[in-house]
Structures are given as C-alpha cells and as structure tokens.
Amino acid sequence: MTKTTTAYDTTGGPAAQQNGRRWAVLAICSIASALLGIDTSVLNYAVPSLSAQLAPSATQLLWIVDVYGFVLGGLLIVAGNIGDRIGRKKLLLLGVAGFGAASAVSAYADSPATLIAARALLGLAGATIMPSTLSLVRAAFTDPKERTTAVGISGGVAAASFALGPVVGGLLLDHFWWGSVFLVNVPVMALVLVAGAVILPETRNPRPGRLDWVSVPLSVLGMFGVIYAIKTAARDGVAEPSVWIAAGLGAALLAVFLRRQTTLDEPLLDLRLFKNAAFSGAISANVVTMFAASVLSLGFSLYFQVVRGWSPLTAGLAVLPGPLAAAVTAPAAGALIPLIGRARTVAAGLFLMGLSTAGLGMSTPHTAYWQLLPVVVVNGAGLMLTFAVTADTILASAPSTRTGAAAAISETAMELGGALGIAVLGSVLSAYYRSDLKLPGGLTAQQRGAARESVSGGVETGLHLPGALGRQVADAARQGFTDSLHTTTLIGAALMVLGAVAALITLKDVPAVLHDPEPEPAPAAS
C-alpha cells in the first residue's frame, strides 16, 4: 500500500528518506532549534552589562527581556500555517536568515529602542523556525519507529540548549562585551542557511486553500494580550490594571477567533485536530509538564546563584547534566513505546519528573552538589520520556498537510503552560517565602521590606548590614527561600503525578505505531 505522505504532502520528503539525507535534515533542524533555546535563556545573564552600557529605563529593560516571548508566542500559529502553504523549508530559511540578521543588530544596538526592535524581530524569526523544524523532521522520517527516535533526538537537543544558555553566556561574558551573546548566533545561522538550502527537502500542503486574513490579527493580538497579561501578572501581581485590560482584550479576541475557526473550510487553527484523542491527550500532557516544571527553572536559578552564591557559569554547569540526560534518553523513548505503549511511557516520564522535582525541592542552603546530581539527571530523563513521545504523537496524529499548524499548536500550548506556571507557581513561591521568612530584630522598616521582597533582596540587605546582624538576615533569607521551595516543588510534583494519571487515561487507546492519517479532502472551490 502506498504511503499517504508521498501522495499529498511533500515535494522532497520521500527522496530524503530514500537517499539517507534524513539524518542530515535532523542535524540541521536540531541546530536551528538549539540556537532558539540558547537565545531564550542567555539574555538574563547579559542584562547587568547591557544595562550599564545602554542605561535603559525600568520599562525599557522589561521590554528588552519580554518582547521576544510576546512576539514568538503571538505568531506561532500564523507562522505554522504559512509554512504549510508556502513550504516549510522556505519558511525555515527565511526565519534563519532573519534570526541571524536580527542577532547582528541586537549585538551592536546602541540604544534601548534599537535593542527592543531587534529582539522583536528575533521573536518573529523564532516563530517561523520552531514549527518548521518539527515539520521537516516529521516529513523526512516516514518510518514510524525512526520518526519517534528522530523527534526525540530533536526534542532532546532543544531541551539541552536551554541549559546551555547560562554556560555559553557565562563563557562569553567573562571575555567579551554583552553583544557577544547575540553575535555568536550569526555564523551558526549562516551555516544552517547554506546547509539547509542544499540539503533540506521542501514540504508543503499542495492544496492549502485561502489564508483567512481576518483570523490573522485576531490570533496574533489575542495571543499577545493573553501572554502579556500572564507575564505581567507573574512580575507585578494581578492587581496591576494592565493585566486585566490585556487579559480581557486578549480573551475576547481569542473567543472571536475560535468562533470564526468553526465556520471556515480552511481555518487558521483547525479545531478538528482536538477531536483526535492522541493529539489532545499529548497536548494536555505537555501543558501540565511545562506548567509544573516551570518551578524548577525559576526556583533553582535563584537557589544556585543567590542562595549558594555561585556564578552564572557555575550555576549553568550545575543544571547541565539534566538536559544532557534528556538528550541521551531521547532514543530510549522510541524503544520503550513498543514495550509498554505510549500512555505508560508518558506517564513514566511524568512520574520520574514528579519524583525528582520533590527530591530537588528538599535542598537546603548547604546540600552537597553530589546529592543533587542524581536527581537532576533523573529529572532530565523524565522530561525527555514525556516530550519525545508527546511530540511524536502530536505530529503523527495530524494529517501531513497540517504538520506546520500542528507543531505550532504544540509550541504555543507549551509557551502558555510555561508562562502560566511561572505566574502561578512563582507567586506561590514568593508568598511562601514571605510567610516562611524569620527576620531578626533591629531592622528598620525599609530593611525589613527589602528583605521580604525576594530572596535576592534579603541576601543583598544582609550583605550591607554589619557583623552578626548582616549574617543573620542573609541566612534567614536563604533558609526562608529553601523552605518555600520545599512547599512549591511539592505542589509541582503533585501536579506531575496527576498528569501521569491523566496521561494513562487520555492516551490509553493510542497505538504504539502511528501511521500517517488519511489525507484531507481538497477544499471546495470558491
């Protein structure tokens, strides 16, 4: 029986499968994805030096940090659909070229406004790269077992890249100016551009129908409003008026957008995909994972750098074994599926993440690193068991004509899950810190307020106080934070265990081997 993919999806995917280019396709797409992960996490380490040179206002600094995520999250769904229409290779190469150019502008920005604009362009380029890489890997690997392994490797590299950000940033900032964290993207993206133009096959939907231009601003502005509200609430609290204005406008626009999608023959967001139990179950598992895992990225960045006093480079090296374990575990996920099934593999990953999250949360200000190392490794392995299977399930359960849109939905759901997790669990962490903090007497109201604001404020206040009092304040802040981390990570661990149970239910009927769905009928002529 002829595979459906060759009939309707690609102009080059089967050729890549036959002549062995598929592994080169995987390498190119993985490198592009890795740079996005590094860029997401590296900026935080350049903020002090770029602030000293560019002197941005507090509002400008917030936009420098946040505008990338706003634009990326808002444009993913639109970008995925455009890739299905014009070709995923073409969109990826355009995104790679744009990312390299925007990185160069960012590196040499001479004003906060220029850097904000360049970061927005980086978000735009990133939105075109993310769904394109997944779609191209999906098209190149038509054998179900190989596809699962390839998607897992791609996800493992992407996961490892987030932890590489602090390492790369620390090494560069120790020797060069702040712009070097952006400039390093340029030669790598140039290499990806040349190699991609030669090696990548082109894939697209040959019968895409018309793009509904009314849906585009509804989707972009709606997502932008919701993401802005979530991030602002996480930073400034829900009492901020802009949070409610942005949330209300975003939700209203998204409601109109979703309603419109149900009336279109060729919707921007194909809600029919969610009728597939495999697709919706995998999306749900990803959202739960990102929501609950956010407490680790937030909490342990503060733990290693503020509580333990480690440099950004040392802190990055401390968490690096987790993503490295994820990269190594990626091929194992494909081997587990035939043995225990997709539902149990995802559930096992979530359970391991829950167990290790609880273990990491038991850290004290003086826990030896060798005691944390095994738990960090287990957490990374659990993360990849989950994401390798869910990513493959999402891509394999969607028609090949819609893989760009499906990948964009997956990436958007993960962005929202992570943002919500930081907003909710970050607020829980802050609230428990303030309630668990036991400050000594003899402090002024201003000193007590600064210490209660955050663990960074508490340690900084202690460092500026003389003698024993300063040490007591700093130690109280460190102890209060680790106590709050205990409670917050237990909440995150419980959510992951509940997610494991949910995965067993939602994915229980999904077969171990997912073949290409039947092609969609061509849209009616208008």
Distance CA 386, CA 326 (A): 10
pLDDT at 208: 66
Question: 192-249 pLDDT, tens per residue?
Answer: 999 989 988 887 777 766 777 888 888 888 888 888 888 787 777 777 788 889 889 9
pLDDT at 514: 67
Quote the tokens at residue 359.
Answer: 């273990």
> Closest Cα to residue 4, out of 401, 487, 335?
401
In a 10 Å sphere around its CB, with 0-12 CB exposed, 13-18 middle and 19+ buried, how is residue 221 labelled?
Answer: middle
Q: What separation in angstroms does the CA of 28 have from each of 69, 129, 170, 472, 522?
A: 23, 12, 25, 52, 32
CA dihedral 216, 217, 221, 226 (to 10 degrees): -40
DSSP state of 11: S
Q: What separation in angstroms does the CA of 519 have from each of 6, 209, 311?
A: 11, 14, 53
- What is the number of other CB atoms lying within 10 angstroms of the CB of residue 55? 11
In a 10 Å sphere around its CB, with 0-12 CB exposed, 13-18 middle and 19+ buried, how is residue 370 labelled?
Answer: exposed
- What is the number of other CB atoms lying within 10 angstroms of the CB of residue 237? 12
Low-confidence ranges of the chain (pLDDT < 50): 1-18, 520-526
DSSP state of 508: T
